Amino acid sequence: MTVSKNTSNVIQLTQKRSNRNEAFHPIKPGRKETRIIAITSGKGGVGKTNIVANLGISLAKIGKKVMILDADMGLGNLDILLGLTPRFNLSHVALGEKNISEIIIDGPGNIKILPASSGIQDLAQLSRKQSAHLLGELYAVLNPVDILLIDTAAGITSNVLQFNAISQEIIIVASPEPTAITDAYAMMKILSIKYAAKSFKLLINMVNDIQEAHEVHRQLSLVADRFLDISIEYMGHVFYDRNVVKGVKQQQAVTLLYPSTIASRCFESLAVKLCQSTGLSFPQRDARGFFKELIQNQMDFNKT
């Protein structure tokens, strides 16, 4: 059968539209899956959001396509830290008010940011059709992304634990303070017992010297080896640096404002090491599964 050129064009256009409307589509051969990494802490005040922003920028500098999801549902401050003013978030996509491309904002240093820090409660009212639409939109937007960083809230609330549990990898941020070390252990303990997480990456922030950072890792490893069946990979450290504080006050990332300062060099090293690391806390996770569980968990959580 001979198909005219115009008919062929119509068929191709129809197929493209159909593909865009599919909520769940098979992974195309050769597609590189996005790494999904939750960055969390048991305690607030350890510089977690600053870590996320500067690590993301450092990863982008070495050629990675990075997106950051601000997952602090009540007190998200990634936008404030970077001097950004997002108008829309995931709830606007879920309710059909915006397309996913309209809510993603450009961050500094060629990173992308997916705002989700308010209005997420509306996910509880989604129909099955709306949920499928949102899943398809979210999955499609990750197609060019190499690494998705999840900036969780501090603490061990249900939302925080769920974001960690549905990610592929978990980076625990701690500082040399005794309370930060204790809370970091508590986070790993709960994720290990309740969600069967077996491996964690540990990043020590605001250290005065390398020995201080290694001592924190040693303390946590000793306790974990005795009471938990987990492994803790020492990811690295970030030195205390006054230029970080200056960057926060100016709402700019230190890696861009002071690229040669000691903290910026630490972030560069961390980015390289992260790319070389392959250990997964939940190796069975993928991008589609992450967003599916995210929406389902939020709907279940808000109905209780």
Third-level CATH fold of 32-303: Rossmann fold (3.40.50)
The mean pLDDT value of the chain amounts to: 83
Quote the pLDDT of residue 260: 98
Quote the pLDDT of residue 159: 77
Q: What mean pLDDT comes out for the span 228-254?
A: 96
Domain borders along the chain are 32-303
CB 71 within 8 A of CB 240: no
Distance CA 152, CA 150 (A): 6
Model confidence pLDDT, tens digit, residues 201-210: 999 999 999 9
- Least confidently predicted of 59-68, 132-141, 218-227: 132-141
pLDDT-based confidence at residue 278 (cuts at 50, 70, 90):
confident
Residue 87: phi and psi, rounded to 5, are: -95, -25
Model confidence pLDDT, tens digit, residues 5-44: 443 443 343 343 334 333 333 344 445 688 999 999 988 8
Distance CA 177, CA 213 (A): 11
Distance CA 171, CA 12 (A): 44
Checking if the pLDDT of 303 tops 70, the result is no
Checking if the pLDDT of 104 tops 70, the result is yes
Quote the pLDDT of residue 42: 84
CB atoms within 10 A of CB 144: 10
Among the listed residues 232, 280, 233, 199, the one whose alpha carbon sits nearest the alpha carbon of residue 33:
280
* Residue 157, C-beta contacts closer than 8 angstroms, at least 6 positions apart: none
Residues in the chain: 304
User: Which pair of structure tokens corresponds to residue 267?
Assistant: 């972030």
Checking if the pLDDT of 281 tops 90, the result is no
User: Which pair of structure tokens corresponds to residue 99?
Assistant: 């397309």
Quote the pLDDT of residue 119: 47
